[in-house]
């Protein structure tokens, strides 16, 4: 990522456990990118910038509410003005709860859609005019988009984000801009760490993966790094689940029980 300028939404660190946006900022900076840490919380954004600087990396904080389209336009302009370019975008900011599809208010529904979907649309549409050929965009979604877990409004927004990813890849492909998506599994990240999650719950989530291991924000960050890098130069419109392998929903038989040749 050396020589690249990256904008990461929701990149601030405001919890004791690393969030996905924070981890992506740190990983991109460690691989040579100049990082614009966008967050509505100035203290959280500055904390990420400070830690990147301590690593020897380069970063700036950009303060904006990404649910405001004009704020998104200003944020993109600020990045280009201060860093001189923009060629990498990560739409990470998200918010969710356990709201059912029809047991929430219209205001709360709109708020979740604005944070989880409209923000990515706004940042992308304002970034496209300044993105050069060879640029890359990664949207951060959730495996809940296809499995419809708890928090159905959130899942609906993420399903729309994945559809938007594929549409944007088709639209922007002729301009040489790649668009992909990382679908986050049941990691132990900032949301889980600050929620009422017991050790037993963590163990159940770990056992629900094929690899029987617990994922973290750093696993998501390294997946995003790959999709943003030139190593993924011929990948666009892809939804990459990062979840420790699909859960065993159909059979508990070990694969070694299948006779060779069948």
Tell me the domain boundaries of the chain.
5-184+214-240
Name the active-site residue from 17, 109, 154, 250. 154
The answer to whether residues 130 and 80 touch, using CB atoms and an 8 Å cutoff, is yes
pTM value is: 0.90
- In 10-126, beta strands by DSSP E: 34-39, 58-63, 88-91
Catalytic annotation present for 154: yes
213: Cα separation from own chain's centroid? 21
Length of the chain in terms of residues written: 262
E strands, 125-177, in order: 136-142
Distance between CA atoms of residues 171 and 169, nearest Å: 6
pLDDT at 203: 84
pLDDT attached to residue 21: 97
- Indicate the CATH number for domain 5-184+214-240: 3.40.50.720
- The Cα 33–Cα 167 span in angstroms is 27
Mean pLDDT by 10 residues, the chain (262 residues): 97 87 98 98 97 97 98 98 98 87 91 97 98 98 82 92 98 98 86 72 82 92 98 98 75 35 30
Per the CB < 8 A criterion, the answer to whether 216 and 189 are in contact is yes
106 φ/ψ angles, rounded to the nearest 5 degrees: -60, -35
């Amino acid at each position: 990522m050396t020589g690249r300028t990256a904008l990461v939404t929701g990149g601030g660190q405001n919890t004791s456990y690393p969030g996905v946006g924070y981890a992506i900022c740190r990983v991109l900076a460690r691989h040579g990118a100049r990082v614009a840490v966008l967050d509505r919380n100035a203290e959280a954004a500055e904390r990420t910038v400070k830690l990147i600087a301590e690593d020897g990396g380069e970063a700036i904080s950009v303060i904006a509410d990404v649910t405001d389209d004009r704020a998104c336009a200003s944020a993109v302009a600020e990045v280009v003005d201060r860093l001189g370019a923009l060629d990498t975008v990560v739409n990470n900011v998200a918010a969710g709860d356990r709201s059912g599809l029809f047991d929430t208010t219209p205001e709360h529904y709109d708020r979740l859609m604005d944070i989880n979907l409209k923000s990515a649309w706004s940042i992308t549409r304002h970034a496209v005019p300044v993105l050069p050929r060879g640029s890359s965009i990664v949207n951060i979604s959730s495996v809940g988009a296809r499995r419809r877990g708890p928090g159905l409004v959130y899942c609906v927004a993420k399903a729309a984000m994945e559809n938007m990813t594929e549409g944007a890849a088709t639209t922007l492909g002729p301009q040489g801009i790649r668009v992909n998506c990382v679908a986050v599994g049941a990691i132990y990240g900032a949301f889980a760490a600050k929620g009422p999650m017991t050790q037993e719950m963590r163990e159940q989530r770990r056992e629900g993966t094929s690899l029987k291991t617990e994922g973290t924000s750093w696993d998501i960050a390294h997946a995003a790094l790959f999709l943003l890098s030139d190593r993924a130069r011929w990948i666009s419109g892809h939804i990459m689940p990062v979840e420790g392998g699909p859960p065993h929903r159909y059979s508990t038989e070990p694969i070694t029980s299948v006779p060779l040749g069948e």
